[in-house]
Amino acid sequence: MYKIKATERMKEIMGAYFRSLESGEKKVAWCTSVGPAELLRSFGFEVYFPENHGALLGATRAAMDCIPEAVKCGYSGHVCSYTTADIGAFLKKNSPLQTHYGMAGAPKPDLIAYNTNQCREVEDWFHFYADHFGCPIVGIHPPRHLDEVSDDEVALVVRQFQKMVPVCEQVSGHKFDPGRFREVVRLSKEATLLWQKVLKTSTAAAPPLSFFDGTIHMGPIVVLRGTQVAKDYYALLLHELEENARNGIGFLPQPRTRIFWEGMPIWGKLRMMSDLFAANGAAVVASTYCSSWVFDQFDEDDPWYSTARAYTEIFINRSEKAKMAMLTDWFGEYHIDGIVYHDSKTCFNNSNARFGMPQRLRERTGVPALVIEGDLCDLRFFSEGQSITKIETFLEQLEANKIYV
Amino acid sequence: MQENIYTMGVDVGGSYVKAVLMAYDYEGDNHRLLDKQTEKIRKRNPREVVDETVEMVLNRNHLNYERDISYLASTGEGEMVVRKTGHFYSMTSHARGGIFFATEAKTVVDMGGLYVRAIKVDPRGKVLDYKMTGQCASGSGQFIENISRYLGLAVEEVGEISLKADNPEVPSGICAVLAETDVINLVSKGLSTPNIVKGINISIAQRVIKLLGSLRAEPPVVLVGGMGMNVGMIQAIRELAAENKKNNLEFATHPDAIYSGAIGAALWGGFRYFKLKEKNAAAVLQPA
């Protein structure tokens, strides 16, 4: 059975990261996953990511027990299930961080920072905690849905980033250090470029990293960007995967079809989905989701501009035109035979199948598309039986010609 | 004279096992449906139900599996068919089954227990494109079964009773649970059973028409699967198509519609058997 050896190292790293949040040695800042983590880290904050906790609640299937608690407080069961699961878990004082990492729960924030580049829901979500803890909160509101991101728009985001500085100085007790910021951006860039290369190993005929494995191995690039630890981890992982690719060793040695996954993972069904595709000879080799933590614009020589640009140019923050161009490029690069869109019931912003894009992209690229309904955390929106039928039917369609022996 | 070649198709669905026996002449030029059998799975082990159904067909025709069956093709839940030569995907089988019923069909609508699929096909039954219903079960045969149980009807009666409706009321087409609640309300309001049943058929027919529209389906259309035998449903589909100015869509049906998957599997099995036979014969003729 195919195994990625670096997984053990990743588990150690993630364990150490979570434990460090409780050490009390540093101030803690909460941040959105595609937020200005580098700036926060340059002030010496430990950075905690509630979205990572949401994913953990989804993957452990604890979300369904937590969501009703948030609903009781007035949060609709139809809004972001990261938000409702996370708030519900907080209210229930029940978190997988306790059982998996021996923590008391999420660390208490000294500062909360969010970026609406992915959705406006994070603003409501993070304000809940700012109100509860009575701690400062800063928000970045970049322009959204752009075809092209101009320098004017980047300048606007730079100004918003820079407005964070006095708050960060006050809460951290440290003056802003431009040299330290450049260093963190350099480390972040190096880790993110290694992550990009890790993902691209699956352009190989026998791909060594599936989308499903990618959702696990992306842990450090989400929570430890800007650290040497993350950079070292991706160098280790890349070395192993490149060697596998060179030797023709992949998670599916001879895939009959190569699939692109668009949208959020269905965290509580990763194993089931991974097995389903593999059983049908289909390799899910690439995704918008895992690619969302590739910030190849980062440049330590121009840290403000480059981070503002990179965080504004991410896939989820772009227009349909820009998204279609990005997807078209990925289809070619990864030799994609079909795309599966996950229409996530509670994640409107990261569901791209609701305004006809699958049809338009199919017309443009000829790549067949399937839309499956589900959710990132709330499995009550997911029907396993119907999804299996849809996926098997889709894969069958991709292979249709093979019936003519 | 050379003897017949026999193939079987076994379609294992959520509620029923369907098996057919197909006979070919020795060269594989002609085929005919010899026998068919449906068994409800109920709470039994599906593997045993499959074996019993296959044996029933074989015994009736004085055939022996090992000796006489050249290809047994499974479709649907194929892992439940232990004795099989090969497996064919469900949509592929239903598409081929549709062409068996209506050779000119350009669109096959498979209306099964769990979902509805509209499939564009070429003259050989090859799938060109398809659309299927979304997640909710209110577009499925299982939903009709649940409702008929609630109304105290046998599922086979639903079609005929629907034809007697004079003022149907359509329940929610979005969600099976809401639709069931609607039906309970309609019963308590005193609406007649034919009008309730017709309303349900219309609700599902609306989904079928929507699917055909999004597929840009071409006529003729053949309705297959278990719900393809529901005359009330067929009437509702025809009426809605007329209302939606889709008069060009002629809808063909067949009394054996429930066997479309099994028939398609048996035919694909036959196709594969004769192709391999041809290949082997060519290999024998090759000089060493």
> What secondary structure, in 3-state letters, does B64-126 show?
CHHHHEEEEEEEECHHHCCCCCEECCHHHHHHHHHHHHCCCCCEEEEECCCCEEEEEECCCCC
Within 10 angstroms of residue B209's Cβ, the number of other Cβ atoms is: 20
Interface check for A363 against chain B (CB to CB < 8 A): the answer is no
* CA–CA gap between residue A202 and residue A287 (Å, rounded): 11
Query: Inter-chain contact A400–B127, Cβ cutoff 8 Å?
Result: yes
DSSP for B161-184 reads HHTT-SS-----SS-HHHHHHHHH
For A195, the enclosing helix (H) or strand (E) is: helix A178-200
List of chain A residues whose C-beta atoms are within 8 Å of the C-beta of residue B275: 405
Do B129 and B249 lie in one domain? The reply is yes
* CA–CA gap between residue A257 and residue A348 (Å, rounded): 28
CB A252 within 8 A of CB A206: yes
**Range of lowest pLDDT (A202-206, A355-359, B123-127):** B123-127
- Confidence (pTM): 0.85
Do B233 and B137 lie in one domain? The reply is yes
The candidate with the shortest Cα–Cα distance to A70, out of A55, A51, A90, A84, is A84
List of chain A residues whose C-beta atoms are within 8 Å of the C-beta of residue B90: 389, 392-393, 396
List of chain A residues whose C-beta atoms are within 8 Å of the C-beta of residue B88: 403
Percent helix, strand and coil across chain B, each rounded to 5? 50, 20, 30
B286: tokens are 């090759």
Phi, psi angle pair for A218, to nearest 5°: -80, -5
Do B227 and B177 lie in one domain? The reply is yes
| A35: pLDDT strictly greater than 80 | yes
* CA–CA gap between residue A94 and residue A345 (Å, rounded): 24
* % chain A with pLDDT above 70: 99
A324: tokens are 């279609």
For A373, the enclosing helix (H) or strand (E) is: strand A369-374
Query: Inter-chain contact B275–A396, Cβ cutoff 8 Å?
Result: no
**B contact set with A (CB within 8 A):** 88-92, 114-115, 117, 126-127, 130, 132, 134-135, 137, 268, 272, 275-276, 279
Bridge partners of residue B119, in order along the sequence: B108, B130
Q: Which of B85, B89, B131, B175 to mutate: most A Cβ within 10 Å?
A: B89
Residue B58 distance to chain A (closest CA, Å): 27
* CA–CA gap between residue B97 and residue B112 (Å, rounded): 13
Bridge partners of residue B221, in order along the sequence: B107, B251
Interface check for A389 against chain B (CB to CB < 8 A): the answer is yes
List of chain A residues whose C-beta atoms are within 8 Å of the C-beta of residue B130: 393, 397
* CA–CA gap between residue B190 and residue B196 (Å, rounded): 10
B174 falls in which pLDDT band (50, 70, 90)?
low
Strand, helix or coil for residue A88: helix
Q: What is the pLDDT of residue A405?
A: 37
Domain that holds residue B84: 5-94+259-285
Domain boundaries along the sequence of chain A: 7-403
Q: What is the pLDDT of residue A276?
A: 96
B187: tokens are 């019963």
Per-residue pLDDT tens over the stretch B223-260: 999 888 899 999 999 999 998 877 677 899 999 999 99
DSSP for A151-181 reads HHHHHHHHHHHHHHHHHHHHHH-----HHHH
Residue A24 gets the label, from left (phi > 0), alpha (psi -120 to 50) or beta, of left
Query: Count of domains in chain B?
Result: 2
Within 10 angstroms of residue B68's Cβ, the number of other Cβ atoms is: 16
Query: Inter-chain contact A392–B115, Cβ cutoff 8 Å?
Result: no
The candidate with the shortest Cα–Cα distance to B88, out of B71, B104, B105, B108, is B71
Do B17 and B139 lie in one domain? The reply is no
Nearest-by-CA chain B residue for A401: B126
Do B227 and B118 lie in one domain? The reply is yes
Do B43 and B131 lie in one domain? The reply is no
CB A14 within 8 A of CB A219: yes
Mean pLDDT of A92-113: 94
Residue A274, classified by CB atoms within 10 Å of its CB into exposed (0-12), middle (13-18) or buried (19+), is middle
Average pLDDT, chain A: 95
Number of CB pairs < 8 Å for A and B? 42
Do B144 and B219 lie in one domain? The reply is yes
- The CATH number of residue B110's host domain is 3.30.420.40
Do B111 and B184 lie in one domain? The reply is yes
Per-residue pLDDT tens over the stretch A147-190: 999 999 999 999 999 999 999 999 999 999 999 999 999 999 99
* % chain A with pLDDT above 90: 93
Do B85 and B110 lie in one domain? The reply is no
* CA–CA gap between residue B288 and residue B283 (Å, rounded): 9
State the fold for domain A7-403: Rossmann fold (3.40.50)
